[in-house]
Amino acid sequence: MSGPLQRVVVLGAGTMGARLAAHCANCGLHTTLLDLNLEAAQAGVQAASKSRPGAFFLPELAQHIHLGSFDADGGAIGCADWVIEAIVEDLGAKRALLARVAPQLASEAVLSTNTSGLPVREVGAELPAAVQGRWLGTHFFNPPRYMRLVEVIDGAATDPERKAWLLRTLEVRLGKGVVQARDTPNFIANRIGLFALLNVLRLMQEMRLSVEEVDALTGPVMGLPKSATFRTLDLIGVDTLARVIENSHQNLAGDERREIFKVPGFVQAMVERGWLGEKTGQGFYRRRGDEILTLDLNTLTYQPRRKASLPFDRLQAAYAQSPLVRQHLQDLFAYAHARVGEITDAPDDIDRAMRWGYNWRWGPFELEQMIESGRAPERPLGKRVRHNPGCSLLELGGGIGCLEFHTKMNAIGGDTVAMVTETLADSDSAWDGFVISNGAENFSVGADLLYLLAIIRDEEWDEAEAAVRHFQAMTLAIKRSPRPVVVAPFGLTLGGGCEVMLHGARVVAHAELYAGLVEVGVGLIPAGGGTKEMALRLDAKAAFETIAMAQVSTSAAEAKALGFLRHGDGVIANRERVLEAAQRTARDLADAGYAPPAEAHLSAPGPSVEATLRLGAYLMREAEQITEYERGIADRLAHVICGGGAPAGMAVSEERLLELEREAFLSLCGEVKTQDRMAHMLKTGKTLRN
């Protein structure tokens, strides 16, 4: 197999198969989903379409999946480059289906199983010899759109070239983090992850800790998701947990910690009572009205949840002060070391599997290094040239620099603005172009709201105006830089972060891009050039609605539909490849003799359009869809988008639009209700609808 993947067939339209087909469609592949009958395939896509979080980048992509049955639509199998089986975890059922599929395969097509625990060699043991070289395991984690890990497992005679083709396909086309695992029970991530979970449950009982205490200790302080231990189990399903434990105990006869792979008594009791977690409305947690109850594992009764406060917020302190954290990590380190050479030869593969498959911030070997060194592992984007507390200039190579944000949530404050502006103004530097990106979980949540609220409450209006002017100057410097500035956003790209993106010479975005101008939520309008850029890109109504409704894209595909991305901007499926692609784009633009865009002008929509937009806001207020204060914000926004009362057709300069943005922004800053919104957002992370 030498050409690119174009056609894929997914066998099985259950939860995993349908969502896997959805992600293949997301990535532009010709995708066919087959099941026992057409109705089952249709039901699978419908369920995927309704799933939350969404399985599709855009709702209309569901229509791009071809549906059929195993018997009636086998022709699709013969045209496929890759066929992936994703039916129920039953060895006999899988073998029976594969026996029907194998004769229909194209001569070079790759065939894989998405089993999460069955031995890949046993699943494919009865395949014809001609297919064995194209047979392997591809264990996707659910939901496949969001979970990055795919474990690839060799079959009995997998051809290295066929496997290499599929590995590259998974990484580049589907955006996956691929780890090669051995054909051992639970492969890598579930083997380590299940041990870690069961060890916590064992220690919890020995140390007589509550559900709340364990969740407090095994969440972000250990680099684990906020759902920690028991909220995660409620999401997975208590019955699913019990089944996986039983299968593991049966299959891990040679494991030195086999005794830990037994279903705890309280888990068995919960299964018998039907307390299975989220899907039954109660598990380790249960909601009663507005109150959340927690299960007492000793009495199996629900009690009001008691918040467990911790005297530490860093891993090293937790390791030193918490017996559970210390003993658990020591056991985890020992278990992970014992698995090297059994489940994989590479400790790094174990770390990557846990980061990509379980959303751990650090894998077990990285955690061990942190405990020993007192420092988190560094994953630098490039060589640091200079820095300040908010931003660094890095050398990527090939004449391309990287401006990297590194504040909390990458909020953009004065330090970041100064670094970006000064770097782009240095005409004597040897840089040929720049990338703006970083290695955090999210690109940027916007401007530094805490600083802004502080200065306006102190009535430092000159400082507030200067801050807005400096932000506008920074984004304009990005747009007008004679050297190309490529913005590489991902994850949350909100407010000021979105404004930075809007001004790039090009954007190279991760497919999971959640971009939006959300300033209305804190009683403001975008004033870092965001309102200006949307007015220039879209018609007045579309720009007004996008900003007034604080619309946030659920993918890069939707960001393009909303106008945040333009024709020519790139979308990369694999998060690890975004920076590389952005660097290459900057280099290509420089080599092509890049020149910044000429100054743009808005052809003013005119007072009648502004009046129409204001009328829309009035009608929404009358229908009680927005508050009276939000109507006032909308009126100011309409005034800016329409050029500040300029006659229809009059050319309005970018500088004038920035002036209008700034005036509206500062005027709103003086309103008590805006200040209340800002304070509420900082305190709760939620919008105050005052």
Q: pLDDT tens digits, residue range 623-664?
A: 999 999 999 999 999 999 999 999 999 999 999 999 999 999
Q: How confident is the model at residue 532 (pLDDT cuts 50, 70, 90)?
A: very high
Beta bridge partner(s), residue 150: 140, 178
Position 606 scores a pLDDT of 96
Q: How many domains does the chain have?
A: 4
Tell me the per-residue pLDDT of 25-46, one tens digit each, with 9 for 90 and over.
999 999 999 999 999 999 999 9
* Boundary of a domain, candidates 598, 622, 654: 598
pLDDT for 71 equals: 87
Q: Is residue 455 part of a domain?
A: yes
Q: Could you tell me the maximum CA-CA distance found in the chain, to the nearest angstrom?
A: 81
Q: Residue 441, Cα to own-chain centre: how many angstroms?
A: 8
Whether 26 and 153 share a structural domain: yes
Residue 288 and residue 346 share a domain: yes
Over 153-211, what HEC string results? EECCCCCHHHHHHHHHHHHHCCCCEEEEECCCCCCCHHHHHHHHHHHHHHHHHHHCCCH
279-283: average pLDDT: 93
Which helix (DSSP H) or strand (DSSP E) does residue 494 occupy?
Answer: strand 491-494
Q: Does 690 map to a domain? A: no
Among the candidates 598, 619, 652, a domain finishes at 598
Q: What is the dihedral of CA 138, 144, 147, 153, to 10 degrees?
A: 0
**Across 185-190, average pLDDT:** 96
In the predicted structure, residue 10 carries a pLDDT above the cut 70: yes
Rounded to whole angstroms, how far apart are CA atoms 446 and 518?
9
Q: Is residue 592 part of a domain?
A: yes
pLDDT in tens, 99-127: 999 999 999 999 999 998 899 999 999 99
3-state helix, strand, coil in the chain (%, to 5): 50, 15, 35
- 471 and 414, same domain (yes or no): yes
On whether residue 2 sits in a domain, the answer given is: no
One domain for residues 535 and 621 = no
Domain presence at residue 689: no
Alpha-carbon distance 573 to 170, whole Å? 10
pLDDT at 427: 80
68-101 per-position pLDDT tens digit: 999 888 789 999 999 999 999 999 999 999 999 9
Residues 592 and 618 reside in one and the same domain: no
- What predicted TM-score, i.e. pTM, was given to this entire model? 0.94
Q: Is residue 11 part of a domain?
A: yes
Give every strand in the sheet of 177-181, ordered side by side. Answer: 66-69, 30-35, 7-11, 82-85, 110-113, 135-140, 149-154, 177-181
Q: Are residues 328 and 404 in the same domain?
A: no
Q: Tell me the per-residue pLDDT of 575-601, one tens digit each, with 9 for 90 and over.
A: 999 999 999 999 999 999 999 999 999
Q: Residue 348 CA to chain centroid, in angstroms?
A: 22
- As a whole number of angstroms, the distance between CA 314 and CA 320 comes to 10
Domain shared by 397 and 345, yes or no:
no
**Statement to judge: residues 302 and 413 lie in one domain:** no
Banded model confidence at residue 311, pLDDT cuts 50, 70, 90: confident
Question: 357 with 309, same domain?
Answer: yes
Res. 1 pLDDT band, cuts 50 70 90: low
Give the H/E segment covering residue 539. none
Locate 670 and state its tokens: 């003086």
Confidence of residue 544 (pLDDT cuts 50, 70, 90): very high
For residue 2, pLDDT beyond 80: no
Q: Are 114 and 85 contacting, i.e. CB atoms less than 8 angstroms apart?
A: yes
Residues 563 and 421 in one domain: yes
| Domain of 259, in residue numbers | 189-373
Residues of the chain with pLDDT > 90, as a percent, come to 93
Alpha helices in 173-314 (DSSP H): 189-207, 211-217, 230-236, 238-251, 265-273
Mean pLDDT computed over 337-356: 97
Give the pair of three-digit tokens for residue 536: 């220039």
Is 378 inside any structural domain? no
Question: What CATH number should be reported for the domain holding residue 144?
Answer: 3.40.50.720
Mean pLDDT of 10-22: 97
Q: Would you call 280 exposed, middle or buried from its count of C-beta atoms within 10 A (0-12, 13-18, 19+)?
A: middle
Give the residue from 555, 573, 598 where a domain finishes: 598
Q: What is the DSSP string of 6-26?
A: -EEEEE--SHHHHHHHHHHHH
Q: Looking at the structure, do residues 509 and 574 belong to the same domain, yes or no? A: yes
Write out the two tokens for 506.
């090009």
DSSP string covering 334-368, please?
Answer: HHHHHHBTTTBS-HHHHHHHHHHHH--SS-HHHHH
Tell the burial category of 328 from Cβ atoms under 10 Å away from its Cβ (0-12, 13-18, 19+).
buried
16 pLDDT above the threshold of 70: yes
pLDDT 10s digits, 551-572: 999 999 999 999 999 999 999 9
CA atoms of 55 and 72, how far apart (whole Å): 26
Q: How many residues are present in the chain? A: 690
Q: Average per-residue pLDDT in the chain?
A: 95
Mean pLDDT of 471-497: 98
661 and 547 share one domain: no
Encoded amino acid at 86, one letter? A
Q: Does a structural domain hold residue 108?
A: yes
Residue 551 sits in a domain of what CATH number?
3.90.226.10
Give me the CATH number covering residue 294: 1.10.1040.50
Q: What value does the CA radius of gyration of the chain take, rounded to a whole number of Å?
A: 27
Start-to-end CA distance of the chain, whole Å, equals 60
User: What pLDDT band is residue 380 in, cutting at 50, 70 and 90?
Assistant: confident
Q: pLDDT value at position 376? A: 82
Reported as a single tens digit per residue, the pLDDT across 454-483 is 999 999 999 999 999 999 999 999 999 999
